[in-house]
């Protein structure tokens, strides 16, 4: 089927929730994808930060082929191979930098997406606060969650309510629970202290992206994460890090927050965790996680045999191939090279989660379109901002090719 035929079918039969680029992608390998006409593209968006091992990594392909032929799905009523192992790997990654080897264990709930992982985190935060109050003999129900302005936490009604971007909420406003979220400006410790002083007793948690992604890659400072930790602890609220985009080695460390010396209570992840197979996960300290009992939360598809096998292979391959080191090295090189481009104002990010902010003369969405003809898949998060989330196996040569082509385009 040609691109034009595909466009006509989608025009009629697919909901128009995305402004698609005029290209039909049919095949991929490593950093490259090809369209139906055989044109090659260097992929610097990686399925929006999902394709961690690169397209069609042989280890992941083999795992999926073998698992598909063995057992795909049986539901969460049964034990399956690999689920416990994967949850232990997540526990070990969370506790990687902790000096105390006996630090509290973490438990994980497996879902299918980032939004679902965040739904789980929000439910956990509210239920944990309720149980804490019950234990104190109080019938108070702290429900408020502090979030950051410009945050992005998903598209379900609840996670959209938590997403402090009026433009995304507008069509559905008033969202049933939007009053349960209190957005504060990122990296403003004074404003955060004021919010906790004002709403303290009603706050059950604070949810933030250690590196804000969707709004154009803005890292939180270490001091800010420390203040969030201190204030949540002082008020008996949980600290939730949404690592859906910045986690799973995207920033070089297993999780984005590990660039700071702060431990949250709940971590959500998705995107790169299973290399392209849908998976979300919400991990929590056992103390918090244990408020969940059988029947209280669930998912039909979450943690299917296929997704679990994929995620185990992704994490094993990242370790076996030294991919974290590659992310640190090539990410630094990418930022250094972007900073030399004409019209550049600022380069932000950690590891291979990077944004380039250009001056007003550069129309980023137009660059993204023109880049297709130059064999590049790019992404704009604003009128003058490009965001780069390439596969974690991106090499210096790929960066050189990107920079040369971008230079011509600009």
Q: Is 209 in the site for ligand PLP (CB under 6 A)?
A: yes
Identified binder of ligand PLP from the candidate list 184, 238, 239, 244, rule CB under 6 A: 244
384 exposed, middle or buried (CB, 10 Å; 0-12, 13-18, 19+)? buried
User: CA of 249: how far to CAs of 225, 253, 256, in Å?
Assistant: 19, 5, 8
Q: Is 30 in the site for ligand PLP (CB under 6 A)?
A: no
Measured distance CA(180)–CA(161) in Å, rounded: 8
Measured distance CA(90)–CA(117) in Å, rounded: 14
Is 41 or 152 the residue whose CB approaches ligand PLP more closely? 152
Identified binder of ligand PLP from the candidate list 213, 303, 331, 391, rule CB under 6 A: 213
Q: Is 285 in the site for ligand PLP (CB under 6 A)?
A: no
Is 271 or 384 the residue whose CB approaches ligand PLP more closely? 271
Is 43 or 209 the residue whose CB approaches ligand PLP more closely? 209
Q: Is 270 in the site for ligand PLP (CB under 6 A)?
A: yes
The span of 14-22, 207-215, 296-304, 334-342 binding ligand PLP (CB under 6 A) equals 207-215
Least spacing, CB of residue 394 vs ligand PLP, in Å = 19
Number of residues forming the site for ligand PLP (CB under 6 A): 14
Least spacing, CB of residue 307 vs ligand PLP, in Å = 13
Measured distance CA(46)–CA(33) in Å, rounded: 10
Query: What SS3 class is residue 374?
Result: coil
Least spacing, CB of residue 314 vs ligand PLP, in Å = 16
What is the DSSP code string of 124-192?
HHHHHHHHHHHHTT------EEEEEBT----SSHHHHHH-B-HHHHGGGPSPTTGGGEEEE-TT-HHHH
The single residue listed with the structure tokens 């992404």 is: 379
The span of 36-44, 152-160, 253-261, 284-292 binding ligand PLP (CB under 6 A) equals 152-160
Q: Is 119 in the site for ligand PLP (CB under 6 A)?
A: no
Radius of gyration of the chain (CA): 21
Q: Is 120 in the site for ligand PLP (CB under 6 A)?
A: no
Q: Is 146 in the site for ligand PLP (CB under 6 A)?
A: no
Q: Is 214 in the site for ligand PLP (CB under 6 A)?
A: yes
Least spacing, CB of residue 19 vs ligand PLP, in Å = 16
Q: Is 229 in the site for ligand PLP (CB under 6 A)?
A: no
Which residues are CB-neighbours of 268 under 8 A, at least 6 positions away? 114, 117, 118, 120, 121, 240, 241, 242, 243, 244, 280, 281, 282, 283
Measured distance CA(38)–CA(372) in Å, rounded: 13
Q: Which helix (H) or strand (E) holds 117?
A: helix 114-135
Is 204 or 267 the residue whose CB approaches ligand PLP more closely? 267
Q: Is 311 in the site for ligand PLP (CB under 6 A)?
A: no
Least spacing, CB of residue 152 vs ligand PLP, in Å = 5
Closest residue to ligand PLP in the complex (CB)? 114
**Binding residues vs ligand PLP (CB under 6 A):** 113-115, 118, 152-154, 209, 213-214, 242, 244-245, 270
């Amino acid at each position: 089927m040609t691109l034009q035929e595909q466009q006509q079918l989608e025009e009629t039969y697919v909901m128009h929730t995305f402004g698609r680029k005029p290209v039909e992608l049919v095949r991929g390998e490593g950093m490259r994808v090809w369209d139906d006409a055989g044109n090659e593209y260097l992929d610097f968006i990686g399925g929006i930060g999902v394709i961690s091992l690169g397209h069609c990594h042989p280890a992941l392909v083999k795992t999926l082929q073998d698992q598909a032929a063995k057992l795909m799905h049986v539901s969460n009523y049964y034990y399956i191979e690999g689920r416990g192992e994967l949850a232990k790997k997540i526990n070990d990654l969370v506790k990687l930098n902790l000096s105390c080897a006996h630090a509290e264990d973490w438990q994980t709930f497996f879902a299918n997406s980032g939004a679902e992982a965040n739904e789980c985190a929000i439910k956990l935060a509210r239920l944990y606060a309720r149980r804490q109050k019950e234990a104190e003999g109080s019938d108070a129900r702290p429900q408020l969650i502090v979030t950051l302005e410009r945050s992005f936490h998903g598209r379900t009604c609840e996670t959209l309510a938590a997403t402090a971007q009026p433009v995304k909420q507008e069509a559905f406003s008033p969202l049933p629970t939007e009053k349960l979220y209190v957005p504060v400006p990122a990296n403003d410790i004074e404003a955060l202290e004021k919010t906790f002083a004002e709403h303290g007793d009603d706050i059950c948690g604070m949810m933030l992206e250690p590196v804000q992604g969707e709004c154009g890659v803005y890292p939180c400072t270490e001091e800010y994460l420390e203040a969030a930790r201190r204030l949540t602890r002082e008020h008996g609220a949980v600290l939730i890090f949404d690592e859906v985009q910045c986690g799973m080695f995207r920033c070089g460390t297993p999780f984005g927050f590990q660039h700071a010396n702060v431990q949250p209570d709940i971590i959500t992840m998705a995107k790169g965790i299973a290399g392209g197979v849908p998976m979300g996960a919400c991990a929590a300290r056992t103390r918090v996680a244990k408020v969940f009992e059988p029947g209280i939360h669930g998912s039909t598809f979450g943690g299917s045999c296929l997704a679990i096998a994929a995620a185990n292979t992704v994490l094993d391959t990242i370790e076996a191939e030294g991919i974290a080191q590659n992310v640190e090295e090539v990410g630094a090189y990418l930022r250094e090279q972007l900073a030399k481009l004409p019209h550049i104002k600022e380069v932000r990010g950690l590891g291979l989660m990077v944004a380039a902010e250009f001056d007003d003369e550069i129309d980023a969405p137009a660059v993204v379109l023109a880049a297709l003809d130059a064999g590049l898949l790019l992404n704009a998060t604003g009128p003058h901002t490009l965001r780069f989330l390439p596969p974690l196996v991106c090499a210096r040569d790929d960066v050189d090719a990107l920079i040369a082509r971008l230079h011509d385009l600009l």
